[in-house]
């Protein structure tokens, strides 16, 4: 009991969660983790007497999360965009989760504003609508007008929501540890890691100042794009729990009926939306990671506006390159490229690569030219990610979130225009990105970045090797390496050693050239023989090293 109190501070909430799980048919889980005695006897008897629910386990999970409230609904929504963690049947059901949260009163809203901004609501706004225009588990949004007559959206965090969510996450951690301990089949999904990731996710969403910083970064990235609008943030009225931004007047993307009633031609706007998302991901490397249609608005002046920047994704250069390859592989129906990129993305080795390629080819058959108009590319992308899960390939979360964005936008586009063609819309944009790789300036910049990383590696390698050997000698490190891993490591060490030798030789030749630049009679380019030969040989070796690096990265075939 002492251990339980130490791990879980709110025992009443803990019992409430266990009771809901028991009533919704997850009593077998409670029994497995030896917590059945924590469910009140009356609740257990009542659940046994009542008719057993005949819903699928996926639906029962969704209903359970909805009953448990905001934290668990948010958790389910996070899982719904993780087909790399749970089967597709679960993600599809969890997509239906709704934030059925009652709005808090105008009096509470006023109190929150006073507490956070230190001023009465009338001192800041000339007009403040009492009824919220949006209501969710973490916050609600009111329309208001500032003293300078600017229309704004005021996002107000729910009172005590941080404390409530922290308690629920604490209970989730405790249950996850028990699941890992008592259920080996669940252990492979790393439930504590999933909860840890969710905890970080909610921490970001609860910090409105972070969201303000994200919004300003988006605004800078799209400052020269006249097809995209990002709301302006008012820093003087923004805190960790209050966020004031421009009110975007328009129609939410999911409201197809209203869009059609306004006779808005959505086709070019959908294309702008796709290009904006692809730009965020593959150019900026910083993208909107909560892509449901309520967060995308068609403005009255026919622009695409993004709102709600609590959750964002990041793509580094390496992930950008691999993701472009994967997305282009889907568009071009290239099963081999997709299989290779999936393995690279997950940083894994699989024995049955040919079988994976065959399964992907089977998925891509639906994209043959004759059926392309009737094929949902997003569904193909979804099935490929589901297949990768079955092979134990873990796709990085940023790419999964990007895939979710594609799925959402294509779904809306097809609802508006059944002939919408994602391939035709996306292909020119992606081809431009691939062509950019062969630009000499781009390749040179990549080469310089690689050299800097390599320089850092060579500087740190002796210390890291020494520390690792000391730990092995002391017996504080476990060595469990397969023969294939040893061979792979040997090859990598050989490559690194060769490159170190090349780099040192190039550096030595450049030093010789610099030291002898003033010795001897000039021959060509006003340079004496020895520095000329040294510079020439250094250039040749640099080119050999560059070609070697580019070949390894599959930039040169």
Pairing of strands 304-306, 228-229: parallel
* Strand-by-strand arrangement of the 250-252 sheet: 228-229, 304-306, 296-299, 250-252
Nearest by Cα to 207 from 151, 141, 152, 139:
139
**How many angstroms separate the CA atoms of 291 and 400, rounded?**
12
Between the CA of residue 2 and those of 9, 11, 19, 338, 459, what are the distances in Å? 11, 12, 21, 52, 50
Give a three-class secondary structure readout of 125-192: EEEECCCCCEECCCEEEEEEEECCCCEEEEEEECCCHHHHHHHHHHHHHHHHHHHHHHCHHHHCCCHH
What is the number of alpha carbons within 13 Å of residue 219 lying toward its C-beta?
Answer: 15
Query: φ and ψ at 314, to 5 degrees?
Result: -125, 135
Neighbours of 161 (CB within 10 A): 20
Q: Which two tokens stand for residue 430?
A: 């992606």
Give a three-class secondary structure readout of 377-427: HHHHHHHHHHHHHHCCCCCCHHHHHHHHHHHHHHHHHHHHCCCCCHHHHHH
Q: Which two tokens stand for residue 342?
A: 């999936």
Q: Helix 377-390 and helix 317-332: axis angle, to 10°?
A: 120
Active site residues: 290
């Amino acid at each position: 009991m002492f251990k339980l109190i130490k791990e879980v501070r709110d025992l009443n909430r803990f019992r409430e969660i266990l009771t809901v799980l028991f009533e919704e048919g997850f009593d077998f889980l409670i029994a497995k983790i030896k917590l059945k005695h924590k469910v009140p006897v009356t609740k257990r008897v009542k659940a046994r007497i009542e008719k057993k629910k005949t819903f699928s386990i996926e639906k029962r999970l969704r209903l359970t999360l909805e009953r448990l409230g905001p934290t668990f609904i948010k958790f389910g929504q996070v899982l719904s965009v993780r087909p790399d963690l749970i089967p597709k049947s679960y993600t599809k059901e969890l997509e239906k989760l709704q934030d059925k949260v009652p709005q808090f009163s105008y009096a509470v809203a006023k109190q929150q504003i006073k507490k956070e901004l230190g001023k009465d609501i009338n001192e800041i706004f000339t007009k403040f609508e009492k009824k919220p225009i949006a209501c969710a588990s973490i916050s609600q949004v009111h329309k208001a007008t500032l003293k300078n007559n600017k229309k704004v959206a005021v996002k107000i965090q729910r009172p005590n929501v941080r404390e409530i969510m922290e308690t629920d996450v604490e209970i989730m951690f405790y249950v996850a540890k028990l699941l890992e301990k008592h259920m080996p089949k669940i252990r492979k999904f790393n439930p504590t890691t999933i909860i840890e990731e969710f905890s970080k996710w909610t921490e970001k969403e609860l910090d409105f100042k972070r969201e303000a910083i994200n919004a300003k970064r988006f605004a800078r990235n799209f400052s020269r794009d006249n097809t995209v609008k990002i709301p302006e943030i008012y820093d003087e009225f923004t805190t960790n729990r209050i966020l004031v931004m421009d009110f975007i007047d328009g129609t939410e993307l999911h409201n197809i009926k209203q869009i059609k009633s306004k006779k808005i031609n959505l086709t070019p706007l959908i294309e702008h939306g796709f290009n904006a998302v692809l730009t965020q991901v593959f150019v900026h490397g910083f993208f909107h990671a909560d892509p449901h249609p309520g967060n995308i608005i068609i403005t009255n002046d026919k622009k695409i506006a993004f709102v709600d920047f609590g959750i964002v994704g990041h793509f580094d250069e390496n992930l950008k390159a691999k993701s472009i390859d994967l997305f282009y592989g889907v568009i071009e129906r290239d099963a081999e490229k997709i299989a290779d990129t999936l393995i690279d993305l997950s940083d894994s080795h699989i024995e049955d690569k040919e079988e994976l390629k065959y399964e992907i080819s089977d998925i891509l058959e639906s994209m043959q030219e004759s059926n392309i108009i009737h094929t949902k590319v997003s569904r193909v992308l979804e099935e490929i990610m589901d297949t990768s899960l079955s092979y134990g390939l873990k796709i990085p979360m940023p790419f999964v979130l990007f895939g979710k964005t594609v799925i959402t936008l294509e779904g809306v586009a097809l609802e508006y225009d059944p002939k919408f063609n994602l391939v035709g819309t996306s292909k020119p944009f992606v081809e431009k990105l691939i062509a950019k790789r062969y630009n000499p300036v781009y390749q040179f910049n990549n080469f310089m970045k690689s050299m800097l990383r390599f320089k850092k590696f060579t500087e740190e390698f002796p210390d890291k090797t020494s520390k690792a050997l000391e730990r092995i000698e002391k017996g504080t490190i476990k060595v469990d390496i397969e023969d294939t891993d040893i061979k792979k490591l040997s090859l990598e060490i050989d490559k690194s050693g060769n490159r170190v030798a090349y780099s040192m030789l190039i550096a030595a030749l450049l030093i010789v050239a610099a030291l002898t630049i003033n010795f001897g009679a000039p021959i060509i380019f006003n340079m004496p023989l020895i520095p000329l030969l040294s510079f020439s040989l250094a250039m040749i070796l640099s080119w050999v090293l560059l070609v070697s690096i580019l070949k390894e990265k599959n930039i040169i075939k």
